[in-house]
Amino acid sequence: MNLKNLQRTSKVPRSTDFLVDMHIHTSYSSCARITLDETLNELMGKVNAITVTEHNYIHNYSEETIQALYDKYQIGVLVPSVEISTAQGDILAYGISSPPTPYLDAHKVIEMIHSEGGIAISAHPFDYLGVGDLIYDLEIDAIEINGSRTQLSNELAKGAAATLNLPLVGGSDSHIHTQVGKCVTRFSVPIKTIQDLIEQIKKGKCSPVFLW
Ligand SMILES: [Zn+2]
Ligand SMILES: [Zn+2]
């Protein structure tokens, strides 16, 4: 199945779906030009939750901040999450307390993530700063379909997930307004915490969905 089919079959979210944009940068990342508030404002009514994945940095949002954001936008901010630069490419990590030193070996980084009970997801594997074919040699938990990268690279990611029998997730990888919420992850149950998210992904109960 090519990505056109993927997009077509997964285009329309059902009302019972719980949608999470799992790959978001804010202006804290030097490469991004949108704040967390602007991102949430953009996503209001479109997704149920997000994870903020800055490069090699984990935000310590307080419970009060997260509650205030929820009250304002009706979107959950699930913590902690981060995009780690490894020697071989970018790895998204969910459920770890602090990011490892950048540019360590990817195998080592994934080992560290798992030792903390977190999950490791290959970000845009077949595009710029992805791990490429090393994906077949890594103990990752899932593979990303990325809203900001090429269709071809997403098709290759989908093929790798089929070969490795791994779940696919979706993230917008948004750095600017026009990228926010393009591709997200669909769950069939509410995701209230990062542990809920980890649990569902480990069970393979998730799928990428393009919102436009
Ligand atoms: Zn990346
Ligand atoms: Zn990114």
Instruction: Show me where the domains of the chain are located.
Output: 3-210
Tens of pLDDT along 73-116? 999 999 999 999 999 999 999 999 999 999 999 999 999 999 99
User: What CATH number labels 3-210?
Assistant: 3.20.20.140
Ligand closest to 122 (CA) is 1
What DSSP state is assigned to residue 95? S
Ligand closest to 26 (CA) is 2
Q: Which pLDDT value is given to residue 100?
A: 97
Please state, in angstroms and rounded to a whole number, the distance separating the CA atoms of residues 194 and 186.
Answer: 15
Tens of pLDDT along 173-210? 999 999 999 999 999 999 999 999 999 999 999 999 99
Ligand closest to 173 (CA) is 2
Q: Exposure pattern of 135-153 as b/e (b: 16+ CB <10 Å)?
A: beebebbbbbbbbbbeeeb
Tens of pLDDT along 19-64? 999 999 998 888 888 999 999 999 999 999 999 999 999 998 999 9
Cβ(113)–Cβ(120) under 8 Å? yes
For ligand 2, the distance from its centroid to the CA atom of residue 141, given in whole angstroms, is 18
CB under 5 Å of ion ligand 2: residues: 83, 173
For ligand 1, the distance from its centroid to the CA atom of residue 176, given in whole angstroms, is 14
